Amino acid sequence: MEIRKASAQDLDQIMQIYENAKAFMRENGNKDQWGDDYPSRELIEQDLDDMYLCMAENQIACVFYYKKDEDEEYGQINGKWLNDEPYAVVHRVASTGIIKGAASYCLDWAYSQIPNLRMDTYRDNIPMQKLLEKCGFQYCGSFERLGTDKWMAYHKA
């Protein structure tokens, strides 16, 4: 597997992967995290410079957002981060399911870029919580987004 930056030519495939991910989340008891209209095509176009693809045999195995920058929503959590050092964030991880371990590979790659990584997931997203714990992330607390405090903050340092 290898990681590469996404491009405008990948946009249709990325959006289909996110549609499939939303269906997977609904089938696994997590209907509220992304709802029907997140992430929007406009958001992905806006974030394209920070979108990455995990490629396996010339196919997309996973898509994710990665940025070496602080996330303002992480400023106040009900808990405590592992440290206050500069960090990178990963958001919107979605695997196609064609290669087992693709999402783990993406998180390991992101951590290798800067070994201080923060993420979050929704309380009902049990598969992502298990993935984060498997990859060495620690639960640090919760925070509020979109009017609910069901967001779980994770950190690996």
Name every residue whose Cβ is closer than 8 Å to that of residue 75 and which is 6 or more positions away in sequence.
none
* Residue 87 to residue 69: CA distance in whole angstroms: 6
CA distances, 108 to each of 38, 87, 129 (Å): 25, 15, 15
Residue type, 115: P
pLDDT digits (tens, 9 = 90+) for 41-75: 999 999 999 999 999 999 999 999 999 998 988 99
Q: What is the pLDDT along the chain (157 residues), one digit of tens a residue?
A: 999 999 999 999 999 999 999 999 999 999 989 988 899 999 999 999 999 999 999 999 999 999 999 898 899 899 999 999 999 999 999 999 999 999 999 999 999 999 999 999 999 999 999 999 999 999 999 998 877 778 999 999 9
Q: Which helix (H) or strand (E) holds 91?
A: strand 88-95
First CA to last CA distance, the chain: 24
What pLDDT, on a 0 to 100 scale, did the predictor assign at position 149?
Answer: 79
Q: Which helix (H) or strand (E) holds 151?
A: strand 148-156
> Which residue in 82, 95, 84 sits closest to 52, CA to CA?
95
